[in-house]
């Protein structure tokens, strides 16, 4: 079955440290890939997307993600985390249907 996996439920990083959030997918072909961020009690905001081409994509708020076909991964990175980055992060994948398939999310805590 097609699936999206975010292996880390919670991640804690220190402010100023680098960040990498993992996302793996299980699909027959290369799907479209997305990362969203959600602040508490809010809707989801699109950070970045990958359709084709350059496998390193830049997004808003200083985030980037790299698509690795051989590993079926689309990991989200940020060189230096700010306290305001504390939020829930969701990886999403398009499939053959009409809507995106979301992972269960990774909760990011940023410590001083």
Q: Which residues bind other proteins (CB under 8 A)?
A: 9, 32, 34, 36, 41-46, 49, 90, 94-95, 97-100, 102-105
3: which strand partners?
Answer: 26
End-to-end Cα spacing for the chain: 41
**Residue 109 Cβ vs other proteins, minimum distance, rounded to whole Å:** 15
95: which strand partners?
Answer: none
Which one, 45 or 84, has the nearer CB to other proteins?
A: 45
Which one, 81 or 92, has the nearer CB to other proteins?
A: 92
Which one, 12 or 18, has the nearer CB to other proteins?
A: 12
Secondary structure in 3-state letters for 10-79 = EEEEECCCCEEECCEEECCCCCCEEEEEECCCCCEEEEEEECCCCCEEECHHHCEEEEEHHHCEEEEEEC
Which one, 13 or 36, has the nearer CB to other proteins?
A: 36
**Residue 79 Cβ vs other proteins, minimum distance, rounded to whole Å:** 24
**Residue 112 Cβ vs other proteins, minimum distance, rounded to whole Å:** 26
Query: 81, 18 in Cβ contact below 8 A?
Result: yes
**Residue 95 Cβ vs other proteins, minimum distance, rounded to whole Å:** 7
């Amino acid at each position: 079955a097609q699936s999206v996996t975010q292996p880390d439920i919670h991640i804690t990083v220190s402010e100023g440290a680098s960040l990498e959030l993992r996302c793996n997918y299980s699909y027959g072909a290369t799907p479209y890939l997305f990362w969203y961020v959600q602040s508490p009690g809010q809707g989801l905001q699109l950070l970045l997307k990958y359709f084709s081409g350059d496998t390193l994509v830049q997004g808003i708020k200083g985030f980037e993600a790299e698509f690795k076909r051989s590993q079926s991964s689309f990991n989200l990175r940020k060189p230096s985390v700010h306290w305001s980055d504390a939020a829930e992060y969701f990886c999403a994948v398009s499939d053959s249907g009409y809507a995106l398939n979301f992972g269960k999310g990774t909760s990011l805590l940023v410590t001083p």
